């Protein structure tokens, strides 16, 4: 699930090394940004009637104005936008009455690069300072147009814990956000919840061979993201490959065993 877009995007459980032989993807894993690939993501901003703007990413959209008011997003959080100057904007994202992230967007003087500096909050109160650079594909001037991811920097990469639950269940815990997906590998929907996650999210788990499993994230019953997790033969690397359900754009997230 993306939380910053976000990003995007992720209660420490008991160690799971004893079952690693049976479930090679069980354990604690830290995102390796350098070995991951998020370069296919495209974001589009369009001017709409009434001085509004429409943002489209991952095949879903929402509209907003830069008036500091909160506008609902397809991911369940709200976004409050304001203009800083003619080439810079700020968006404050809130969920469960908490600020979960603040994005500062800046367009370069030549109009070809969009830089998004994000302060993404963790459940502990700490934050990760992240930067995404986009290259303009079309459109302009200013923010309006189509942008594609060119570079991503994360100051504090997330940690994922995967633990078995009986013979047919898994618990995925995104430690930084204390978000949990707790379900069986039966293709059914199970609640996905945490203090930083909006309500209405579910996860669907399904076995995929002996060393992989599939996960689908839904918001209010609508599937938004699907990916497959698989462990390397030596058990040191976990790879997640997938993307938004409504697009052909894919991502690859690589995790190192902790």
Do the Cβ atoms of 168 and 185 come closer than 8 Å?
A: yes
- Average pLDDT, stretch 131-149? 96
Antiparallel, parallel or unpaired: β 169-174 and 179-184? antiparallel
Do the Cβ atoms of 57 and 79 come closer than 8 Å?
A: no
Angstrom CA distances, 154 to 7, 121, 252, stand at 11, 13, 15
Do the Cβ atoms of 180 and 11 come closer than 8 Å?
A: yes
* Residue 20, both tokens: 């690693």
pLDDT in tens, 212-250: 999 999 999 999 999 999 999 999 999 999 999 999 999
Give me the percent of the chain exceeding a pLDDT of 90: 86
pLDDT at residue 138 is higher than 50: yes
- Average pLDDT, stretch 134-142? 95
User: Which residue in the block uniquely carries the two structure tokens 């997938």?
Assistant: 242
Q: Which of 37-41, 43-47, 158-162 shows the lowest per-residue confidence on average (mean pLDDT)? A: 37-41
Do the Cβ atoms of 32 and 42 come closer than 8 Å?
A: no
pLDDT in tens, 158-217: 999 999 998 899 999 999 999 999 999 999 999 999 999 999 999 999 999 888 999 999
CA distance 82 to 172: 36
- More confident position, 169 or 22: 169
pTM to 2 decimals? 0.90
Confidence band of 39 (pLDDT split at 50, 70, 90) = confident
Question: Reduced to 3 states, what is the DSSP secondary structure of residue 125?
Answer: coil
Do the Cβ atoms of 109 and 140 come closer than 8 Å?
A: no
Complete domains list, the chain, with CATH: 3-38+157-257 (2.40.128.20), 42-154 (2.40.128)
pLDDT of residue 14: 33
């Amino acid at each position: 699930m993306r939380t910053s877009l976000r990003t995007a995007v992720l209660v420490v459980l008991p160690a799971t090394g004893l079952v690693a032989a049976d479930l090679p993807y069980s354990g604690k894993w830290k995102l390796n940004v350098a070995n991951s690939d998020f370069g296919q993501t495209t974001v589009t901003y369009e001017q709409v009637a009434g001085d509004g703007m429409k943002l489209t990413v991952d095949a879903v959209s929402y509209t907003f104005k830069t008036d500091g008011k909160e506008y609902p997003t397809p991911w369940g959080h709200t976004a409050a936008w304001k203009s800083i100057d003619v080439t810079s904007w700020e968006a404050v994202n809130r969920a469960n009455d908490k600020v979960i992230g603040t994005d500062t967007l800046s367009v370069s003087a030549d109009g070809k690069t969009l830089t998004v500096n994000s302060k993404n909050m963790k459940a502990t109160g700490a934050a990760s300072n992240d930067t995404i650079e986009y290259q303009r594909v079309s459109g302009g001037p200013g923010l309006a147009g189509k942008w594609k991811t060119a570079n991503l920097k994360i100051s504090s990469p997330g940690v994922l814990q995967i633990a078995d639950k009986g013979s047919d269940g898994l618990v995925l815990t995104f430690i930084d956000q204390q978000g949990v997906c707790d379900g069986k590998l039966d293709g059914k929907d199970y609640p996905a919840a945490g203090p930083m996650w909006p309500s209405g999210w579910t996860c669907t788990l399904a076995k995929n061979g002996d060393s992989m499993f599939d996960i689908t994230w839904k918001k209010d019953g609508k599937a938004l993201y699907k990916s497959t997790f698989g462990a390397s033969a030596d058990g040191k690397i976990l790879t997640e490959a997938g993307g938004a359900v409504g697009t052909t754009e894919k991502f690859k997230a690589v995790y190192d065993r902790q």
